[in-house]
Structure 1
Amino acid sequence: MSKVLGTRKDIAYTERLAVRIIMKNDKDEIVIIFVKNGNYYKLPGGGIEPDEDHRFAGERKAMEETGCKVIMDEGCMATTEEWRNDLHQISYYYRAHLVRDTGVVELTEDEIVDGLQHGWISVKSAMRG
């Protein structure tokens, strides 16, 4: 499954690849990130470093943003292509299996300024939007 968000304009874009994860716990809840600066929600994940494996990037970002140790599935389940401001981003979506919630996040200074917070919500609530 693939989806395009936004519209390409005749400007110079910064290219970025990202990974996003969908992770459930044993209570049938998924983890979601709230970004206070912008007032929006997103799935855990972020930029893939040059030559970094998607699975490693997703597992790294899950630990940093949620404090959760995860194991990601092999196959990408969906992609999005996004045109936002001067950013062209392709995101790859994977299922992840929760191994342990350490409770310790490692946010970057920018993520702290943006007010990132994670929480668990029921799959039903997530589907309702």
Structure 2
Amino acid sequence: MAPPSTDGIPSKTIGTQSNEINYQDRHAVRVIVQREANDNIIIIHVKKGNYYKLPGGGVEGDEDYQLAAEREVLEETGCKASIDTKCIGVVEEWRNDLHQTSYCYIGNVTDDSGRPELTEDEVLDGLEHEWAPVQDALQKLKGIKPTSELGIYIQERDTFLLETFLAL
């Protein structure tokens, strides 16, 4: 499936493209998952690398982007979420040999089993999701000191996306 239209949507580029590198293209989704009843959103703490991130991950094949967002939220948090159709922000990353474009959506929890379906790598990385008020989540994202290059990229990406959400 084609990526969503990004006309007029806030965007950010992290890293610099080099003509000397053959990049692997990857499309991904990020989701700001909220509860209708309050101001809390989900953030995920990744112990290995010491950083926080928004739920999300890669779009598989010709998968619909909203369906990819629903799947990633369920896998990483155990929550079923209704995903808004409008993309609210885009981040393009040039990292090592990866060219990744992340599309951010807003999701509202419809059911919370609290039982994530993490991959073996995610378990080894120590992923744990938590609920936090939006401003607290932003402070956690910005205030932690990642110990990996990946964590530094994710911190910059997800801080931008959460600040974009707060500006809506």
> What TM-score do you get using the length of structure 2 for normalisation?
0.73
Structure 1, 31-40 or 60-69: larger mean CA deviation: 31-40
1:17 matched to 2:27: yes
Q: Give the RMSD, CA atoms, in angstroms.
A: 1.1
Quick one: which of 92, 99, 104 aligns to 2:110?
Answer: 99
Quick one: which of 66, 71, 93 aligns to 1:55?
Answer: 66
Q: Return the structure number with greater helix share.
A: 2
Quick one: which of 75, 78, 85 aligns to 2:96?
Answer: 85
1:73 matched to 2:84: yes
| DSSP-derived class of the 1:104 partner | coil
**What residue ranges of structure 2 are gaps of 5+ in the alignment?**
1-9, 143-168
| DSSP-derived class of the 1:69 partner | strand
The corresponding residue for 2:159 is: none
> What TM-score do you get using the length of structure 1 for normalisation?
0.94
Distance 2:17 2:44 in 1: 27
Distance 2:14 2:92 in 1: 6
Distance 2:22 2:45 in 1: 29
The corresponding residue for 2:154 is: none
Q: Return the structure number with greater strand share.
A: 1
1:111 matched to 2:135: no
Distance 1:86 1:39 in 2: 23
User: Which letter maps to 2:62?
Assistant: D
Give the superposition deviation at 1:48: 0.1
Give the superposition deviation at 1:100: 1.1
Provide runs of 4+ in structure 1 moved above 3 Å.
none
| DSSP-derived class of the 1:21 partner | strand
| DSSP-derived class of the 2:13 partner | strand
The corresponding residue for 2:17 is: 8
User: Which letter maps to 1:109?
Assistant: E
CA deviation profile, 1:15-56 (whole Å, cap 9, x unmatched): 110001001122311101111111111110100001100010
- Number of residue pairs the alignment of both structures matches: 129
